[in-house]
Each structure stands twice: as C-alpha cells, then as structure tokens.
C-alpha cells in the first residue's frame, strides 16, 4: 500500500473575494483613493472548505490520489503586473490562503508558495516570503517564474548569478522550485498551450547551456508539464549538450532536475517514462487546471493522469517511485509534514 502524491496542484477554485481583492489592489495603483483598506480579503473557513470539498478534494477522492502539493494559481501570479510592492502583497495574500487550506485539510494538502517576483527586480526580494512560508507556514517548495515579464523573456537565464540569492536560500531551506511561468501578455503565446510549454522547454535548455548545478550541487528543480518538449526531443538536447562539451545529461542535469507527469495522453506518458529515468519523474495532474474536459477517445478527463501511469508497462517499484517516493525525496521537508499528520510513521 503506498501513497499517491500529486506535486502540481493549483488553487484554481479560489473564492471570488480573492479576485476582488486583487482588482482593488490594482485599481489602487492608478487611483490612490481606491487603495485597499483591508490587508487581507475577507474569506471565511467555510468558504474555503466549500471550494476545496467541491473541487480538488472531490477529485482527489474520485481519482484515488492522497495528497496534493498545493500552490496559488500559476496564471494568477501575474508577476508582470504592478510593481515589487504589489507582487509582495499579492504573494503574501495568496500564500496565506494556501496555508489556511493546509490547516483545514492537513492530510490532503501541503503548501507550495508563490514568490513575489517582479520584472527587473532581483529575486532576492523573494527571500523573506520564501522563508516565512517554509519556516512559519510549513510549505515544502516554491514556484519560480523564469519569465516575470509574462512572455517577453527580459530576465537573464536561470543559470545566471542574477538568480543565485534565491537558489542559495532554497538550498539553505532544503526546498525545491517548480519552474513555472505565469500568464502571457504576449498575444503570440497562448498561456497554457504555448507559454507554459515554451517556458518548460526554455528552462531545460538554459540548464543545458549553463553549469548551475556545479555551483549548487544539492539544488532541485522540477520542470512541469512533462518537461515541455524536452523528452520528445531528447536526442536534440543530448546532441546540443555534446556540441557544447557538457557532460552527459545524466551527470549534467539529472541529479538535480525532475519532470512531472502533466502530460494528457497515454502515448505522451509512455514516451516520457521511456526516455527519462524513472528516478526523475514525479506524479502530477495539475487538476483543476489547464485542460478541463473529457477526452472522447478514452471517455476520461484529460488531466486524470493517474490512469496513464497505471497503464504503464513498468514494475510496481518504478510506479511507486513516480507516485510517492521521488516526491518525498525531492521535497525533502515533506516527510516531516507527513509524519506530523500520521500519513507515514517513523
Ligand atoms: Zn502547470
């Protein structure tokens, strides 16, 4: 008997009051008389409970997963909007809601935080919020946006020392980051169809070009959505790494880089698990997220990714790595949480 841990759960069902708070926050940017009076949106525990019971918790039960690593909505981060102060307030409010849900449902949800990134602002501004979320709220990871400009890629690549203060703090706290873009304000890139997958692919290529893990041998990064185009084009990436005189990908990246299983068809998951070592794959569904609806070819929801893993012709031991043990290894602080709520013993 083992656990099924979904490492990619966005709070897409958050109450309207959160959006209203955000609208007022942004209105206050252009009209000082409309500045927020309350520093937090007024949302009751019952309201929070309802959004979860009708949404993520219901689906967890229907599909038979146990625990979701839960974060604010990726599209909602919208780092390109406003300024540093706006992002800091917004991240705090969103993370506090996630914390409350992890308190209301401690056996079903563990927190992953939004960072208060802002275009052109060094990510060292994120350290206090990351530290607060990990040390005070019990979060086990963060979402790191490689493109706070929202589709225009104005920041240096992830391997640039620009990002190092954040990586140093992550290593110190022993938390990984999921590399996840937010919305796209570039009309060329559909957010979930193009910008997300581009973001994943771009992050992977940046990691190949650089030598980030020489400087941070214990840093752990998760590339979502199955790693974007990387697994499908594995030969291209191996070849490019070779041309750049980089070590083999196994040494260069795979001690530190992981992919999730947010790939919404069987043959995609077959390919992912065929190409990428099982040790580097973490179960995830992104429910209720990017793609909602039922696949007429299978009669099941596209994002019901557990079915694809169940169908794989790999051993139970390998499935267990994907469903549970890899997540417990990558999110090193998770075991302490699982122990505290009695999900594991020892
Ligand atoms: Zn995602």
CA of 303 to the centre of ligand 1 (A): 11
CA of 293 to the centre of ligand 1 (A): 16
CA of 294 to the centre of ligand 1 (A): 18
Task: Tell me the torsion sign for CA atoms 160, 127, 138, 285.
Answer: negative
CA of 225 to the centre of ligand 1 (A): 6
Beta-strand pair 221-223/300-301: unpaired
Residue 1: predicted pLDDT: 60
Question: What's the average pLDDT block by block, 10 residues per block, for the chain (346 residues)?
Answer: 92 95 92 80 96 95 95 97 96 98 98 98 98 98 98 98 98 98 97 97 98 98 98 98 97 98 98 98 92 95 96 96 98 96 85
Tokens 């959006």 -> residue: 19
CB 17: neighbour CB atoms within 10 A? 15
CA of 136 to the centre of ligand 1 (A): 25
**Rounded-to-integer distance, Cα 252 and Cα 254, Å:** 6
Distance from the first to the final alpha carbon of the chain = 16
Residue 264: predicted pLDDT: 97
CA of 178 to the centre of ligand 1 (A): 9
**Rounded-to-integer distance, Cα 340 and Cα 251, Å:** 35
- The model's pTM: 0.97
Those residues with Cβ within 8 angstroms of residue 102's Cβ, 6 or more apart along the chain or in another chain? 70, 109, 110, 111, 137, 138
CA of 256 to the centre of ligand 1 (A): 19
- Active-site positions read 286
**Rounded-to-integer distance, Cα 81 and Cα 171, Å:** 29
**Rounded-to-integer distance, Cα 163 and Cα 102, Å:** 29
Residue spans of beta strands (DSSP E) within the chain: 5-10, 67-71, 109-114, 141-144, 177-179, 221-223, 257-260, 281-282, 294-295, 300-301
* Beta pairing partners, 10: 71
CA of 180 to the centre of ligand 1 (A): 7
CA of 114 to the centre of ligand 1 (A): 13
Residue 60: predicted pLDDT: 95
Using the 8-state DSSP alphabet, how is residue 111 labeled? E
Using the 8-state DSSP alphabet, how is residue 41 labeled? -
């Amino acid at each position: 008997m083992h656990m099924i841990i979904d490492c990619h759960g966005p709070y897409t069902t958050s109450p309207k009051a959160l959006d209203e708070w955000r609208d007022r926050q942004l209105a206050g940017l252009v009209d000082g008389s409309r500045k927020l009076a309350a520093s937090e949106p007024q949302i009751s525990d019952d309201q929070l409970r309802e959004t979860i019971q009708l949404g993520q918790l219901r689906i967890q039960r229907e599909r038979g997963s146990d625990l979701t690593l839960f974060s604010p909505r990726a599209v909602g981060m919208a780092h390109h909007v406003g300024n540093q102060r706006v992002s800091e307030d917004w991240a705090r409010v969103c993370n506090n809601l996630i914390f409350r849900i992890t308190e209301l449902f401690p056996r079903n949800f563990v927190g992953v935080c939004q960072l208060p990134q802002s275009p052109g602002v060094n990510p060292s501004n994120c350290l206090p919020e990351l530290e607060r979320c990990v040390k005070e709220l019990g979060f086990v990871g963060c979402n790191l946006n490689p493109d706070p400009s929202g589709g225009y890629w104005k920041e240096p690549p992830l391997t640039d020392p620009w990002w190092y203060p954040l990586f140093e703090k992550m290593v110190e706290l022993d938390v990984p980051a999921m590399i996840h873009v937010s919305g796209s304000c570039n009309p060329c890139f559909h957010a979930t169809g193009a910008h997300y997958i581009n973001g994943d692919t771009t992050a992977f290529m940046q990691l190949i070009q650089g030598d980030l893990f020489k400087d941070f041998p214990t840093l752990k990064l998760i590339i979502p959505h199955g790693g974007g185009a990387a697994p499908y084009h594995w030969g291209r990436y191996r070849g490019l790494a070779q041309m750049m005189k980089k070590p083999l990908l196994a040494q260069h990246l795979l001690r530190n880089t992981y992919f999730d299983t947010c790939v919404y068809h069987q043959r995609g998951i077959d390919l992912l698990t065929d190409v990428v070592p099982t040790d580097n794959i973490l179960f995830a569904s992104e429910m209720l997220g990017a793609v909602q609806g039922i696949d007429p070819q299978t009669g099941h929801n596209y994002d019901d990714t557990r079915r694809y893993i169940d169908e794989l012709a790999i051993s139970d031991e390998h499935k267990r790595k994907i469903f549970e043990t890899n997540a417990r290894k990558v999110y090193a602080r998770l075991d302490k949480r699982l122990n505290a709520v009695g999900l594991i013993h020892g």
